[in-house]
Amino acid sequence: MGPGPSDVPQRILNAGSRPTIGHLDPKFIQLMDEIKLLIQFAFQTQNRLTMPISAPGSAGMEACFVNLVEPGDKVLVCINGVFGMRMVENVERCGGIAITVNDDWGKPVDPQKVEDALKADPEIGILAFVHAETSTGVRSDAASIAAVGKAHDCLVIADTVTAVGGIEVHLDKWRIDASYSGTQKCLSCLPGISPVSFSAEAEAKLSSRKQKVQSWFLDMNLIMAYWEGDAGRSYHHTAPINALYALHESLIMLQEEGLQAACDRHWAMHERLKNGLRKLGIGFLVDPDYRLPQLNVVFIPDGVDDASVRNQLLQDYDIEIGAGLGGLAGKVWRIGLMGHSATEENVDTCINALTNIIS
């Protein structure tokens, strides 16, 4: 019940244990096509260039930046937690110029600050922000932020690692040009895969690059020849066959439940957790209007030792919750209600355990 990985249900574990076949086997290629459609469903997009990167969400982040950012490109990065800071690192390593707008940790990205920054520098061509900030449990208004970016002719990159499968994500409706997620959060799949999606506008930027993508492995020009295969599949790398079996099963389960039903379940479990924590005098860092139901950042009560409680939860109750990051270290806990972990049983067990430890 931390910030990820979430519990993996037996059905997905069973899928991952199926016999390994070749990465160009006709049956695996059929599976690849199905995975692409299922990721499009999860992202709510028709983007042609949609696929899983054979590495975790951090590689999905890097794939978006190395493909779209060239040396000298100006990129506006919104920072309201750890993962916005990582975006800056990616921009700079691509030779881009990172311009930042900052909001307090625990607060959403302010669209007006984005508007002001884009007006101040018309040369900015890319806008990047984190939709669901895992370090703070805050949800930024992706639709509003993206609308500001598109009004200023920017390509828009959104981190949806913790968002997909837990709250609404709609790349096409919001006009987001590139997004990356992770399998180990609300999809409750094995860690190590990052679904990504690029719009037609992002593809145009990619195809008109003046220099090669700095990463050979993450170059979408090369990867798409394996995943898209309009003229036959071209070998790029040996895909993690069994992990993709698991991802396929995870996405099937999300489709079976339905996106709205999954969102509703996460909110219901958040409310159950909130009500239980209120009785212990434990409050939330994030305002209710911007709170993530799947990642609950709560204040540690006065006089309670952070590490001691987390260790006792793990040793005595088999429950793992996350510590605070950065300036929030020692001040908050991060309680995850992600995917298969978002159940009444888990919430009640966590509340009862905390009651026993700190009361």
pLDDT for res 359: 83
Residue matched to tokens 């593809």: 203
Each residue's pLDDT tens digit, 271-302: 999 999 999 999 999 999 999 999 999 999 99
Handedness of CA 299, 302, 308, 313 (dihedral sign): negative
Handedness of CA 298, 181, 204, 85 (dihedral sign): positive
User: d(Cα 249, Cα 244) in Å, to the nearest integer?
Assistant: 8
The contacts of residue 183 (CB under 8 Å, 6+ apart) are 52, 56, 189, 190, 191, 192, 193, 194, 195, 243, 246, 247, 250
Domains 10-255 and 259-358 alike in fold:
no
Each residue's pLDDT tens digit, 176-216: 999 999 999 999 999 999 999 999 999 999 999 999 999 99
Please report, in angstroms and rounded to a whole number, the separation of the first and last CA atoms in the chain: 21
Burial, 316: exposed, middle or buried (Cβ in 10 Å; 0-12, 13-18, 19+)? Answer: exposed
Global pTM reads 0.97
pLDDT for res 231: 64
The contacts of residue 184 (CB under 8 Å, 6+ apart) are 4, 5, 6, 56, 57, 190, 191, 192
- Tell me which CATH code domain 10-255 carries: 3.40.640.10
pLDDT tens for the chain, 359 residues: list them. 999 999 999 999 999 999 999 999 999 999 999 999 999 999 999 999 999 999 999 999 999 999 999 999 999 999 999 999 999 999 999 999 999 999 999 999 999 999 999 999 999 999 999 999 999 999 999 999 999 999 999 999 999 999 999 999 999 999 999 999 999 999 999 999 999 999 999 999 999 999 999 999 999 999 998 988 666 788 999 999 999 999 999 999 999 999 999 999 999 999 999 999 999 999 999 999 999 999 999 999 999 999 999 999 999 999 999 999 999 999 999 999 999 999 999 999 999 999 999 98
Class of domain 259-358: alpha beta
**Domain map (residue ranges) of the chain:** 10-255, 259-358
**53: closest CA among 43, 41, 39?**
39
Report the alpha-carbon angle 65-139-76, nearest 5: 35
- Sheet architecture: strand order including 322-323: 295-299, 332-336, 322-323
Let me know: does 99 contact 76? Beta carbons within 8 Å: yes
